[in-house]
Structure 1
Amino acid sequence: MRPRQGLIETFSTFVTFTEDYFDRWMSDSKLRRSMDRCLKTQPKPPVSEKFWVHFWHKKWQTSSSEAQGHLLAYLQEACYWSAHKTVNAGFAGLHLSIADLFQIALTQAERILKGFNPDRGSTLKDYASVAFKSIIRDLLRQRRETDICSDWALLRKLSQKRLRESLQNAGINDEEQLEQYILAWTGFKTLYVPTQATGTRQLNKPDPDTWEAIAKFYNIERETQLSPKTTPASPATLERSLTQCAKWARLYLYPTVGSLNIAKSDSDTREIVEDLADPNEPMLAELIAEEENQDRQTQQVQLKHTLTTALERLKPDVLEILRLYYEQGLTQQDIAQQLDMKQYTVSRRLTKARETLLKALAQWTQNALDGELTSEAIAQISTLLEEWLYSYSWK
């Protein structure tokens, strides 16, 4: 898999497969323009991946479909490698490919986003890598269990909550209709399941007498549990209803693999500019200000550590000269008299100490800030060093 380059590609492209292998990154034009617009309209746009994950995750919590698209794009590698490792480890069996597992896992992306908490210190990519792998293996175990169960064994294993979710997933949202299916299932669980041996995954279909008993149970209970308008049900009707419930449950527990990675083409005329993130919106401005403030605080801590470490490496007599000069405000001549040494010795040691500290500060600037050491930059660093030495708490 080719690594993605830059923030725009990272937050706007999706995996495409050719015969179960990674083929290329497909760009979503709408998401690409969204990221490009956010970056271009900021004088100093944040360049850290972590910042934009935080921004889009925070925006996703406001039910933004655009933010969800950016995060779905971002999670592509984590999902792909989780699927790849699962197949290579032999967990998937022979009938499921990397592409299959990739799509299965991607349907659970919302669970990943809901479970992720940026305040806990882990990155979304690290969290998703672990979570996707766990989700894939749980779904595989669930599928194996579902595949080897007969319809009736599957209905026995279902909880009422899972049955309701399966029905709703199939588009049954009318509460009265849901209650009819649940009542039929309750009759099956009450009258048939207790009479069968536990542990078998190939539970047989109830016999005609049992269906008659289930129908009788249903028609009695419907008078108190269902609407008065509900018509009586025959054994054949209940058998068909429960068979359909089993099919819906199987589809819910193991959804049909379908691609979520459908990028919009540039010719999509339905796209409207108002859907894009406003790069000047308060949330983005607040996050940028927050990150800049955190960066400044971090830099101040690093700067203090760098200069304090450099000071501690100086000889005690040099430290004393610096203390007298910057803390006491003595002149070089006064210091020479107090320490009983020549004035030029004080000057030489003072200059050499400054050079040592300036070198440490310049090295930190290059490493931490990627700063170019121009003559102007060195002058600014020198001024910063002088200010720091005057404000330093000398012991």
Structure 2
Amino acid sequence: MPNPFNQESIPRLPERRDNAENFSTCLVLATRNNRPALMWQNYAELQRNFELYKEQAPVLSQLCDRPDGIKSIAEFWRQIAIYDPSHIAQEWEPENRKTLALKHLASYFEKHCYHAARKVRSQSSNRPWEDYLCYARVFIYTADNLLKLLKAYNICHQTYLDTYIQQSLIKIIKAESDIGKFSPWRLLVNKSDKELRESLQKYDYREPNISQFIFARKYFKQVYRLNKVNNPAIRKTGDKWPDADSEDFRAAAECYNAEKSLPSAPHEVSAGANISGEQMQAWMKICITALQNYPKFINLPLSLEVLQEEDREGLFDESELDKANTDEVENSDKKAREPSDLSFRKQLASLKPDQHTILLLYYGAGFKQKQLELKLKLNQSSISRRLTTIERRLLEALVEVSEPDRWVAKYVVEWLQKNFRAPLRSDLIQAALVQATTELDSKEQEVLRLRYGQQVAEKNIAIGLA
């Protein structure tokens, strides 16, 4: 894999401004003026939790007032994370306080990942510097790994926690570099679709590319495992995962092209063109880069309480509803949307509390219906019926204000021309159009794919299908 970093171009680690930032931000690799750069990204959940403890826990507030209190703050979170019996949970503390404490510490240890990676890179140039950084970050952002490391510190507390963590990370980086457990290809194969999607989104990729990359990765994994990982002639159990080669990419591309027109393929994939082995290789390298640059944060679900708090403060606020009726809207696009937005808000405001909860979990937090079943103690058919009822009410409200006879035909044509390859799935109309395309016969679907997915001229389509 090409190495954009060398010892001279390792980016400088930016300073964090205060104690809150030291325990609630995450490193992000970026590019500035065509050079690698590092920046800190905020995590709102950790910021809120830090402020909560600062307000409610006098000991943390006192530590924050001390100019040299940062190491003691780290120890404060460690005591919570390792289930210290002396720490009796207070009523105001969140139920997931131990998980949050681990997240605070992982954020704090980001700087030690950087310095450990830099130290190893100064001793060995076998791998790019960002690979060493990735090994360390993947380790600390795995809850079990970090917890074991923190508990082990009880035995060897003769040194500072910071020193202990950095020395441990240096050993971990060296070990992983030798045995290749975190090779780029292993990282690519083992990450979930959800993690890959989040990584690509953070790396500024959008649809239809994200769906295409994920679909391509599905078939690359199958080919690569068969040809390389599970092939005893190529690799023995426990050996380093070998690099993929052109034959792997070619075979994976053939699978992609053969499967893209099946009903199970995402619309964004079936609407696109066939790909080559070279294109498959380029896509997989993009996925690897995105995964390396954005390690998944430890178990970072949106909490129902946070969503409900935001709900109360904003989405269903009656004052905001009144404000929408009285404020002058200067932008013409906003004015055009105002009647439907207002109608939707009225419908949402009239929903029952249990309907609000389902909406928040399903559309806000991204819960699957199976997860909703466990969370709400409802069977999936009941959940499906309630979601359908809500969607139907919104559709009826939209029809009432939209006068469809005047604009539907034009909308469909514009959608085909502009959004066919990358529909906005959260838009109910566009989602319905995607569903409608799946109900066409195979020849009609092929015409749409060629004309609007691949931009083939109508004359050429007629010749090709004759």
Higher relative contact order (CA 8 A, sep 6+): 1
Do the structures match in fold with TM over 0.5? no
TM-score (ref. length: structure 1): 0.36
TM-score (ref. length: structure 2): 0.32
**Larger Rg computed on CA atoms:** 1
